[in-house]
Structure 1
C-alpha cells in the first residue's frame, strides 16, 4: 500500500496561490494547518516553497522563536521544524533542515517516495504540485478558499491540460469567512 500524497494550499476566489494573498493567518487557521501537518510524516516541496518555509518556520539557532510569533504560530513551527522534508530542485546542491534532495525525474522520484512506509506526504507549493497532478500522483487536495480576489499572482494548478474530476469529501467554514474543501480524485 502506498502512502498518500496530499496537496494543501490557501487559495483566493480568483485562484491566486501567492503566499501573501488571502486573509492573514489567525489562531483558528493556524490550528487547522498544524493539524494538517500532523497527518503526514514527510513534507514535499520544490525549491521556492522549501526556502520560503525554512525562512519562516525553522527554529532559529538561538532556540528561541521570534517575538512576532504568537502561540498558534509557535505550535505550527514546533510540528514543522523536526519533520522530514524532501526537496525537488535542479538548482540546489545541498539542503538541510531535516531534508533530502531529489533531482532528475521528479515523477519517478515521487512514485518511489510514495512506496516508502509512512503516514503520508504533505505537498506544498505551486509548480511541483501542478507537475505531479498532471501525472495523477496526488491522492487528496485540500484548498482553504479565502473570500478575497487577489487580481494577480500564481494560479492554482496552472498548466494542467487534462480535465480532472474530484469528489468533495469534507468541508468546513472558518470564523474568518474562509472555507476548507477537501477533495479526492475520481479514478
Structure 2
C-alpha cells in the first residue's frame, strides 16, 4: 500500500494560510526550499485540492522562464511539472501539466490510489486533506512550523471524529527558526 503524507508550511498557531489566504509569512529559506524541491522530486503522485492547485498551477508551469529565476526555482519548477498530479474539484473544468481531474468522491479515489501501484502520495490543500484525515487515510504528517502567529485563517488540522495517535519520526531545524516535525500514524 502506498503511503499518504499531508505536509504543509504551518504558522505556530496552526494555520496554513492567514486570513485572506495570505502566505507571505511562509517564504522559505534556501535550505527549506531545497527540502520541498527534493520532496517534490521523490513524490510518486501529488493530490491537490482546487485552491492549492490554482495557486501552484498559476506560478510553477512558467517559473523556470521568469527573469531572475534562481537555479533552485528552475529545478523545483521542472520537478513540479514532471510530478504526476491528481486535482480534486467539482468546479474546475480542466487541468494541465501532468495532472488529471477527479470530480467524484475524493475519499473513494484516494482509497483506490493508496491501494494501487507506484510511489508514495503527497496530499495538499486544507479541504481535501481534511477529508482524508477524517477517513483515516493519512499515514504521515510533515509539519513545517514557522515562528509566526497569524491569528486566524485556514487551519492545518480540522475537526476529527476520533483521536489519531502519532509517533514522532523526524525533527529538523531550518534557518530562521523553522522546524520540521514528521509524525507517522500509529497502527
Q: Give the drift of 1:68.
A: 4.6
TM-score in terms of structure 1 length: 0.91
Per-residue CA deviations over 1:95-153 (Å, capped at 9, x if unaligned) read 11111111221111111111221111111111110110111101111000001111121
What are the ranges of 5 or more consecutive residues in structure 2 without an aligned counterpart? Answer: none
Verify: 1:159 aligned to 2:159, yes or no: yes
Q: Is the 8 A contact 1:44 1:86 kept in 2?
A: yes
Equivalent pairs, count: 183
Q: Give the drift of 1:21.
A: 4.8
2:68 and 2:16 map into 1 onto residues whose CA distance is 23
RMSD: 1.5
Q: Is the 8 A contact 2:41 2:83 kept in 1?
A: no
What does residue 91 of structure 1 align with?
91
What are the ranges of 5 or more consecutive residues in structure 1 without an aligned counterpart? Answer: none
What does residue 46 of structure 1 align with?
49
What does residue 14 of structure 1 align with?
13
Between structures 1 and 2, the one with greater strand share: 2
Verify: 1:32 aligned to 2:35, yes or no: yes
Q: Is the 8 A contact 1:42 1:86 kept in 2?
A: yes
2:26 and 2:139 map into 1 onto residues whose CA distance is 27
Q: Is the 8 A contact 2:9 2:26 kept in 1?
A: no
Q: Give the drift of 1:165.
A: 1.4
Q: 1:29 to 1:154 in 2, by over 3 A?
A: same
Q: Is the 8 A contact 1:5 1:139 kept in 2?
A: yes
Per-residue CA deviations over 1:29-55 (Å, capped at 9, x if unaligned) read 110101111221211001111111111
**3-state secondary structure, aligned to 1:117:** coil
TM-score in terms of structure 2 length: 0.91
Q: Is the 8 A contact 2:170 2:183 kept in 1?
A: yes
What does residue 179 of structure 2 align with?
179
